[in-house]
């Protein structure tokens, strides 16, 4: 029987063997609805002050944590002598993050050529990046021969950073073995490495949660790799006690191809239904109450191949924020801070950001900021979509309506939108549109106030009067937030 004290947030709970996971407990820095985080990729700035200022832009938009690489080869330079750790580069980045008021989600990855016979053999710098074949056969992506060596590195990093880190994520997209666990993904081997790392990390600090490394969710047609749910299922099949080796399951529900977050397609489902599929796998193995953390998701904006428009990215950011926390997921982590110049227009990694290469903000940053401002201090209360008669949507053609109610003392906020995109929605050079459903739908929202405030997802506001206790709206793909003042409840006694 495993006894372990673990805190995900201010509360501390005692885990006894297979005791229920802390699904309702939020990490430090969270708003009541949950934690908005961002990956650190492509943050500009050559000085500590510049990088801190850029991280502060995310803080100002409601982001409260940064997921950042603390890679093995970054803290232990390859070559003899072994175990000669050097944290100067990562210390600078962590100082920039914490100096902006943000917390750290530390990624412990990947392998190290000095501890992998295959990695040593491959050597050299990997080719690719965000252009196929991506980072294939790079030395650092081969797993170590002995998980104990990875555990030693993990323990050293945990001792160095202490409480600056709110969670440890062990590896990244290990189910995409052709890229991040070459030469092929190995669920059993990953499970052994995860358990070794967990023992080392909890020996240093039993209060900081350990995450199952974020699995890339869908299986992409014509590419190698194992889908996230299948990989997790296989890892449990190899070790039925795997649930004792981590506190929360991380996953990356990218919608390849880059369709709307609510759009269901066969086999893959949708970005939102990915949570149900991940929970189903965990439930089969007795861990259905473990929290799910999204540690990467996003939509690239470019016109050459498979991107979406900047306008669509902004809509999807707003919709994901409202829908994800309504699913009771405690963490939503965006990929990523900003774009970088890509003359070819082919590198998807260059276009996921909230900021353009020149530092100007995309509309998605405004959508992120607006959500943080409007929903500050609130928590999800109830899904009113079906009660209002909004359509449930359909495979391929979409057309799902949403009315998600959040509450805070003295206010009720309802996020409403109509996800009208179909699989024919334009990507890359294709025209926008492609809707098979009506472009908009009407709805009457019951309210108790005579007047309510309407805020669209880009922050534009107006006040409207209710008629016979209802507000009449026309919903489209851009969310609108209905903010209503309500009497605060009196405390008894």
pLDDT at 224: 79
| pTM more than 0.75 | yes
Distance CA 52, CA 102 (A): 10
Q: Measure the CA–CA gap between 36 and 62, rounded to whole angstroms.
A: 7
Which fold, 3-374?
TIM Barrel (3.20.20)
**What is the spatial distance between Cα 321 and Cα 103, in angstroms, rounded to a whole number?**
19
**Using alpha carbons only, what angle is made at residue 289 by residues 205 and 9, rounded to the nearest 5 degrees?**
40
Length, in residues, of the chain: 493
Q: Which of 213, 324, 335, 226 is nearest to 276 (CA)?
A: 324
Residue 491: the pLDDT is 47
Widest CA span in the chain? 78
Average pLDDT of the chain to the nearest whole number: 89
For residue 155, give the H/E element and its range. helix 147-161
- Over residues 261-277, the pLDDT tens digits come to 999 988 889 999 999 99
* Placement of tokens 């294939």 in the chain: 136
Q: Does domain 379-485 have CATH number 2.60.40.1180?
A: yes
pLDDT tens digit sequence for 118-131: 877 665 555 445 45
Report the alpha-carbon distance of residue 175 to residue 357 in Å, rounded.
Answer: 31
Beta bridge pairs of residue 407: 379, 412
Cβ atoms < 10 Å from Cβ of 408? 18
- Element containing residue 4 per DSSP (H, E): strand 3-7
Per-residue pLDDT, 17: 32
- Where do the structural domains in the chain lie, given as residue ranges? 3-374, 379-485
Instruction: For helices 48-60 and 88-99, give the axis angle rounded to 10 degrees.
Output: 40
Low-confidence ranges of the chain (pLDDT < 70): 1-24, 121-137, 220-222, 305, 429, 489-493
Task: List strand residue ranges (DSSP E) for 271-410, in order.
Answer: 292-294, 331-334, 379-383, 392-394, 398-408
Whole-number pLDDT of residue 490: 53
Given the structure tokens 């409202």, which residue do they identify? 322
Distance CA 122, CA 143 (A): 12
Res 322: pLDDT:
98
- Strand 451-456 to 461-465 pairing: antiparallel
Q: Which two tokens stand for residue 252?
A: 């990356």
3-state SS class at 329: coil
């Amino acid at each position: 029987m495993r006894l372990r004290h673990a805190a995900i947030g201010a509360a501390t709970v005692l885990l006894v063997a297979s005791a229920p996971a802390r699904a309702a407990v939020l990490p430090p820095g969270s708003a009541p609805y949950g934690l908005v985080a961002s990956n650190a990729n492509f943050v500009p700035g050559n000085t500590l002050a510049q990088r801190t200022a850029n991280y502060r832009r995310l803080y100002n938009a409601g982001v409260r944590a940064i997921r950042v690489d603390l890679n093995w080869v970054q803290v232990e330079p390859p070559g003899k002598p072994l175990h000669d750790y050097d944290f100067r580069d990562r210390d600078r980045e962590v100082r920039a993050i914490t100096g902006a008021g943000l917390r750290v989600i530390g990624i412990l990855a990947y392998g190290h050529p000095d501890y992998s016979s295959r990695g040593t053999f491959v050597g050299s710098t990997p080719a690719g990046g965000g252009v196929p074949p991506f980072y294939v056969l790079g030395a650092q992506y081969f797993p170590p021969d002995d998980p104990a060596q990875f555990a030693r590195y993990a323990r050293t990093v945990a001792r160095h950073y202490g409480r600056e880190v709110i969670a440890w994520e062990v590896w990244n997209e290990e189910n995409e073995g052709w890229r991040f666990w070459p030469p092929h993904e190995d669920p059993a081997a990953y499970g052994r490495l995860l358990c070794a790392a967990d023992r080392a990390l909890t020996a240093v600090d039993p209060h900081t949660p350990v995450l199952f490394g974020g699995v890339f969710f869908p299986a992409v047609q014509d590419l190698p790799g194992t889908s996230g749910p299948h990989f997790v299922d296989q890892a449990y099949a190899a070790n039925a006690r795997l649930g004792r080796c981590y506190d929360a399951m991380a996953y990356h529900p990218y919608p390849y191809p880059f369709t709307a977050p609510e759009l269901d397609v066969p086999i893959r489902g949708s970005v939102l239904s990915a949570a149900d599929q991940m929970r189903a796998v965990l439930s089969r193995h007795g861990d259905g109450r473990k929290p799910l953390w999204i540690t990467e998701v996003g939509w690239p904006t470019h016109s050459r191949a498979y991107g979406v428009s900047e306008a669509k990215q902004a809509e999807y950011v707003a919709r994901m924020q409202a829908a994800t926390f309504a699913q009771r997921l405690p963490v939503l982590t965006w990929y990523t801070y900003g774009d970088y110049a890509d003359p070819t227009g082919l590198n998807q990694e260059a276009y996921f950001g909230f900021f353009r290469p020149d530092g100007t903000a995309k509309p998605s940053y405004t959508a992120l900021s607006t959500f943080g401002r409007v929903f500050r201090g609130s928590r999800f209360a109830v899904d009113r979509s079906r009660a209002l008669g909004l359509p449930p949507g359909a495979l391929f053609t979409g057309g799902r309506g949403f009315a998600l109610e959040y509450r805070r003392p003295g206010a009720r906020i309802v996020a409403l939108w109509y996800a009208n995109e179909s699989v024919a929605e334009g990507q890359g050079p294709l025209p926008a549109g492609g809707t098979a459903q009506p472009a908009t739908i009407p709805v009457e929202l019951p309210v108790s106030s005579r007047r309510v405030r309407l805020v669209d997802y880009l922050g534009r506001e107006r006040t409207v009067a209710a008629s016979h206790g209802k507000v009449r709206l026309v919903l489209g793909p851009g969310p609108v937030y209905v903010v209503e003042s309500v009497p605060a409840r009196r405390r008894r006694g």
